[in-house]
């Protein structure tokens, strides 16, 4: 019997499943790795262990493959290992795919009923010396930073009782707190939302449960010194859809965007819901801060449904390349009764996957770095085939959020870039003084490079490029862990 992955864009071309766990010491390098870069760049993305049980159009439904690039004394070592979730281990035991469609337990093999369905493929963070691989439909999976060995799902000392942990928690650099939440916290499509503050030692010190006004995506959120903001866009989910075998989420353009604002140490009764009476697809938080009464929340935002695989009830979805994207600032005035936040466009550009200097998280800041599409640049269709909506980015971008000034580095007509991650030059460096690291997909060669750029001069191009002898599929999010 032939064994093949489904013939669709998620499993072909550059995103053909790799399924390779690797150790490569002292990568080949063009240029010079800065000697002060001592630490590890972690990243994660989906890479299926087995052919999927069903042919799903969802790119992010496969097993998490965690990669680490360890920088020391001008050398870079690479390692990759699967995040060994309960799902990964069950399928390895059975030697076949057992789990069905994204967020839909009704499509699973009966042998895995009740098992945690997460794939730990969305983001990686380091907190209190531990590495966590994250997927928003399941708990945080702990791994060993150095070896990438999986330890198992964490409940943070028994006090994290939500069934889910966001892929986008924030670390407050001022006190080391890990601020997190879980939506669908009592099971898929439930309204229950749980909010947690975890101290620098990994102990839960604050917990709030509240109901969202509707069940939908809360992929990212905003954290400031005194507040947290939970955004709801136009996607909703319900169990009837799941039982009927429909896509988990449906786009409802008639709904309004909603934002739940909670004091960082508040209670459920303190939550205030704000509304913007128009549709939007919320991307990722760039950063947020408050001045005591006003919250400034910078985010990427699209004016229509970016996830065509979660269309309207009748199947309608726009072409993803026709959607207007922007970096927005939303302003919440907590001293008035206004229920609509202010909205200002910082930059009307197609840019996503933001990274900032982590020392300025939750506080006023200037510099943001993103992956972007520069439509003025060429694309070699002949060598690369049609551009993949899984990774449409051709440039890295430096955005000054105070002035709106944009600088770019174009990766070339046969390349796509993945999420950039900012690395401070030193503890005492000015904000934004440091390096950007990002994976570059070399499409015709089907190989990956890791580029290192001077964050204040990205237009000059990489100061060093580490060449992998293998291909890393399009991934999602990463982070930097300094060696100390
Ligand atoms: Fe994300």
| Digit-coded pLDDT (tens) for 359-404 | 999 999 999 999 999 999 999 999 999 888 888 999 999 999 999 9
Confidence (pLDDT) at 1: 60
Confidence (pLDDT) at 55: 87
Percent of the chain residues topping a pLDDT of 70: 100
**CA 28–ligand 1 middle distance (angstroms):** 30
pLDDT category at 8 given cuts 50, 70, 90 is confident
pLDDT above 80 for 45: yes
**CA 257–ligand 1 middle distance (angstroms):** 18
- pLDDT tens figures, 301-325: 999 999 999 999 999 999 888 899 9
**CA 61–ligand 1 middle distance (angstroms):** 14
**Rg of the chain (C-alpha set):** 21
**CA 220–ligand 1 middle distance (angstroms):** 7
pLDDT above 90 for 483: yes
pLDDT above 80 for 86: yes
**CA 43–ligand 1 middle distance (angstroms):** 12
Confidence (pLDDT) at 312: 97
For all residues of the chain together, what is the average pLDDT? Answer: 96
**CA 181–ligand 1 middle distance (angstroms):** 14
**CA 1–ligand 1 middle distance (angstroms):** 38
**CA 118–ligand 1 middle distance (angstroms):** 15
pLDDT above 90 for 111: yes
Residue 60 tokens read as: 């992010």
**Neighbouring C-beta atoms of residue 426, cutoff 10 Å:** 10
Confidence (pLDDT) at 444: 96
- pLDDT tens figures, 200-258: 999 999 999 999 999 999 999 999 999 999 999 999 999 999 999 999 999 999 999 99
**Residue 355 near residue 370 (C-beta atoms within 8 A):** yes
**Neighbouring C-beta atoms of residue 267, cutoff 10 Å:** 12
pLDDT above 70 for 459: yes
* Bridge partners, 180 (sequence order): 196
**CA 476–ligand 1 middle distance (angstroms):** 7
**CA 74–ligand 1 middle distance (angstroms):** 30
- pLDDT tens figures, 285-307: 999 999 999 999 999 999 999 99
pLDDT category at 484 given cuts 50, 70, 90 is confident
**CA 248–ligand 1 middle distance (angstroms):** 18
**CA 32–ligand 1 middle distance (angstroms):** 31
pLDDT above 70 for 451: yes
Reported pTM = 0.97
**CA 161–ligand 1 middle distance (angstroms):** 22
**CA 121–ligand 1 middle distance (angstroms):** 10
**Neighbouring C-beta atoms of residue 184, cutoff 10 Å:** 24
Mean pLDDT of 21-34: 98
Q: Rounded to 5 degrees, what are φ and ψ at 268?
A: -60, -35
**CA 264–ligand 1 middle distance (angstroms):** 22
What is the b/e burial string over 116-142, where b = at least 16 CB atoms within 10 angstroms of the residue's CB? bbbbbbbbbbbbeeebbbbbbbbbbbb
């Amino acid at each position: 019997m032939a064994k093949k992955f489904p013939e669709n864009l998620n499993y072909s071309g550059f995103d053909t499943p790799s399924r390779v766990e690797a150790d490569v010491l002292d990568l080949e390098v063009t240029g010079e790795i800065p000697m002060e870069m001592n630490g590890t760049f972690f990243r994660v993305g989906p890479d299926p262990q087995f052919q999927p049980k069903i042919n799903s159009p969802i790119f992010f439904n496969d097993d998490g493959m965690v990669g680490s690039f360890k920088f020391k004394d001008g050398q870079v070592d690479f390692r990759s290992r699967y995040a060994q979730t309960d799902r990964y281990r069950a399928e390895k035991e059975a030697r076949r795919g057992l789990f069905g469609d994204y967020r839909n337990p009704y499509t699973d093999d009966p042998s895995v009923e009740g098992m945690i369905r997460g794939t730990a493929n969305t983001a990686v963070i380091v907190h209190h010396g531990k590495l966590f691989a994250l997927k928003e439909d399941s708990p945080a999976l702990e791994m060993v930073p150095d070896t990438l060995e999986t330890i198992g799902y964490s409940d943070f000392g028994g006090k994290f009782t939500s069934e889910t942990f966001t892929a986008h928690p924030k670390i407050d650099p001022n006190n080391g707190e890990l601020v997190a939440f879980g939506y669908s916290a009592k099971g898929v499509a439930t309204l229950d939302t749980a909010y947690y503050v975890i101290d620098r030692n990994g102990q839960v010190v604050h917990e709030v449960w509240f109901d969202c006004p509707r069940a939908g995506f809360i992929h990212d959120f905003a954290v400031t010194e005194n507040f947290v903001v939970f955004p709801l866009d136009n996607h909703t989910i319900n169990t009837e859809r799941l039982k009927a075998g429909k896509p988990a989420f449906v786009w409802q353009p008639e709904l309004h965007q909603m934002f739940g604002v909670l004091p960082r140490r508040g209670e459920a009764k303190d939550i205030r819901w704000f509304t913007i009476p128009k549709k939007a697809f919320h991307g990722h938080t760039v950063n947020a801060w408050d001045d005591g009464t006003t919250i400034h929340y910078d985010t990427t935002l699209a004016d229509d449904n970016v996830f065509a695989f979660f269309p309207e009830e009748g199947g309608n979805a726009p072409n993803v390349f026709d959607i207007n994207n922007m970096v927005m600032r939303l302003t919440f005035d907590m001293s008035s009764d206004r229920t609509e936040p202010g909205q200002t466009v910082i930059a009307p550009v197609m840019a996503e996957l933001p990274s900032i200097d982590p020392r300025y998280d939750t506080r006023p800041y200037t510099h943001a770095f993103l992956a972007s599409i520069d439509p003025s640049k060429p694309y070699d269709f002949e060598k690369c085939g049609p551009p993949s909506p899984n990774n449409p980015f051709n440039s890295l971008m430096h955005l000054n959020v105070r002035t709106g000034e944009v600088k770019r580095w174009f990766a070339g007509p046969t390349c796509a870039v993945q999420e950039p991650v900012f690395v401070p030059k030193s503890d005492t460096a000015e904000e934004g003084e440091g390096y950007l690291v990002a994976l570059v997909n070399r499409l015709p060669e089907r190989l990956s490079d890791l580029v290192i750029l001077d964050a204040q001069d990205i237009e000059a191009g990489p100061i060093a490029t580490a060449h992998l002898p293998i291909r890393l599929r399009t991934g999602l999010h990463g982070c930097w862990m300094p060696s100390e």
